């Protein structure tokens, strides 16, 4: 769906969307559900890493748009792919879902509890987007990305992770209706309260500050400096947030990966989608230090430092 397509639906313009967000188009997964997207990404990840299905001992799936309220989307993926040797569960951490899921996988592997985990970030946000609200509908898109995390000898891999949240800001980005607090009722006019509601400008300021802090924390905790980092793979929420982050941590935009123009904000799918494209484009070399960093509804944020 291009910006021109959205001009036909709400009072907006390609110029406004591109200049304020960096987004030119986003993907809408018509005729598919969240688990379908996840299965495609996960199948590619298993293939790319040469992993057999029965090696996967844990499936951790970050999403706020599962197929069903019950069971988890991870269990649906498990059933569809026949990953019968795994424990499967979802992580509800909005745009930080992949980072949180990765940190859990990393802990289980470091503790020696498991050897291989499948970590997925996936969203079908178009289902929960209010296409009457120009403040939100121009931003979001659908997508999925996945990685296999394995126990390996040597110094490469996930060096450290940092995750944090602040529930005081929960109403800056939320869906009010549809949960146990405000269940659906046939007689109620939801007026968009069951879709994504967002106070974008307040989130913007907190996002820049906390994404910068999280990035610096994982770098400094490892005894490194920003100069040691080859590439930052940030959550693709808004190009102006990403540029402000780069300025704040003093890293050149040449070292920051961007694909927001093609996908918009895909929440939990954003970081793995960007990581995969950066890798396929040859932007990441063996031994490079890579930082992934995200921010989302909760409010919630986190970063992961990887030696590739
Ligand atoms: N087209 C045209 N005009 C618009 C549009 C649009 N699509 N959307 C808003 N406007 C108007 C507003 O109505 C406002 O008009 P007014 O001044 O007459 O009231 C004006 O543009 C400016 O609005 P702001 O909200 O102040 O615009 P801002 O520069 O902050 O950009 C945006 C809005 C893009 C949402 C930005 O604030 C942002 O990216 N915020 C962060 C979003 C985010 O990161 N969310 C967290 C992750 S998502 C997750 O967790 C699922």
Write out the chain in H/E/C secondary structure: CEHHHHHCCCCCCHHHHHHHHCCCECCCCCCCCHHHHHHHHHHHHHHHHCCCHHHCCEEEEECCCCCCCCCCHHHHHHHHHCCCCCEEEEECCHHHHHHHHHHHHHHHHHCCCCCEEEEEEEEEHHHHCCCCCHHHHCCECEEEEEEEEECCCCCCEEEEEEEEECHHHHHHEECCCCCCCCCCCCCCCCCCCCCCEECHHHHHHHHHHHHHHHHHHHHHHCCCCHHHEEEEEECCCCHHHHHHHHHHHCCCHHHECCCHHHHCECHHHHHHHHHHHHHHCCCCCCCCEEEEEEEECCCEEEEEEEEC
- pLDDT tens for each residue of 248-302: 999 999 999 999 999 999 999 999 999 999 999 999 999 999 999 999 999 999 9
* Residues 139 and 193 reside in one and the same domain: no
Catalytic residue among 3, 130, 259, 265, which?
A: 265
Among the three residues 134, 155, 176, which one is the final residue of a domain in this structure?
155
Do residue 57 and residue 198 come from a single domain? no
Whether 165 and 302 map to the same domain: the answer is yes
Which residue's CA lies nearest to atom 48 of ligand 1? 296
**Domain-terminating residue out of 92, 124, 155:** 155
Q: Is 70 exceeded by the pLDDT of residue 41?
A: yes
Give the pTM: 0.96
Total domain count, the chain: 2
> Are 162 and 284 members of one domain?
yes
pLDDT of residue 187: 66
Ligand 1 pocket mutation, candidates 10, 65, 204, 243, criterion most atoms within 8 A of CB: 204
Range of the domain at 177: 158-307
CATH number of domain containing 302 = 3.40.47.10
> Do residue 172 and residue 151 come from a single domain?
no
Say if residue 118's pLDDT is above 70: yes
Distance 14 CA to ligand 1 centre (A): 14
Q: In percent, how much of the chain has pLDDT > 70?
A: 99
Minimum CA distance residue for ligand 1 atom 27 = 201
Q: Is 95 a catalytic residue?
A: yes
- Mean pLDDT over the full length of the chain: 96
Considering the domain architecture, whether residues 162 and 151 belong to the same structural domain is answered as no
**Residue 265 falls in the annotated catalytic set:** yes
Residues 126 and 229 in one domain: no
pLDDT classification of 182: cutoffs 50, 70, 90: confident
Whether residue 221 sits in one domain with residue 184: yes
Residue 174 shares a structural domain with residue 291: yes
Q: Is 75 a catalytic residue?
A: no
Which of 130, 155, 180 is a domain's end point? Answer: 155
Is there a single domain that holds both residue 118 and residue 200? no
* Same domain flag for 162 and 231: yes
Which of 3, 20, 134 to probe ligand 1 with, by most ligand atoms within 8 A of CB? 20
Q: Are residues 109 and 36 in the same domain?
A: yes
């Amino acid at each position: 769906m291009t910006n021109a397509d959205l001009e036909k639906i709400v009072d907006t313009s390609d110029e406004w969307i591109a200049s304020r967000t960096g987004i030119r188009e986003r993907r809408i997964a018509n005729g598919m559900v969240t688990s379908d997207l996840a299965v495609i990404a996960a199948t590619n990840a298993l293939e790319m890493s040469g992993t057999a299905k029965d090696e996967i001992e844990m499936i951790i799936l970050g999403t706020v748009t599962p197929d069903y309220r019950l069971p988890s989307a991870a269990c649906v993926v498990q059933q569809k792919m026949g990953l019968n040797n795994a424990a499967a569960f979802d992580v509800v951490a909005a745009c930080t879902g992949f980072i949180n899921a990765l940190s859990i996988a990393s802990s289980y592997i470091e503790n020696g509890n498991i050897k291989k985990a499948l970590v997925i970030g996936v969203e079908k946000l178009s289902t929960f987007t209010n296409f009457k609200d120009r403040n939100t509908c121009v931003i979001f898109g659908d997508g999925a990305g996945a990685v296999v995390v394995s126990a390996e000898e040597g110094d490469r891999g996930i060096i450290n992770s940092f995750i944090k949240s602040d529930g005081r800001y929960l109403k800056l980005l939320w869906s009010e209706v549809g949960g146990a607090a405000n269940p659906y009722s046939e007689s109620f006019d939801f007026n968009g309260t069951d879709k994504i509601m967002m106070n974008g400008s307040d989130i913007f300021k907190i996002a820049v500050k906390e994404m910068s802090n999280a990035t610096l924390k994982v770098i400094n905790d490892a005894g490194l400096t920003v100069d040691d980092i080859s590439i930052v793979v940030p959550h693709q929420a808004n190009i102006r947030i990403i540029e402000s982050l780069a300025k704040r941590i003093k890293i050149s935009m040449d070292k920051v990966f961007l694909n927001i123009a093609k996908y918009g904000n895909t929440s939990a799918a954003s970081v793995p989608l960007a990581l995969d494209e950066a890798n396929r484009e040859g932007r990441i070399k063996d031994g490079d230090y890579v930082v992934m960093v995200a921010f989302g509804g909760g409010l919630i944020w986190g970063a992961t430092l990887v030696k590739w």
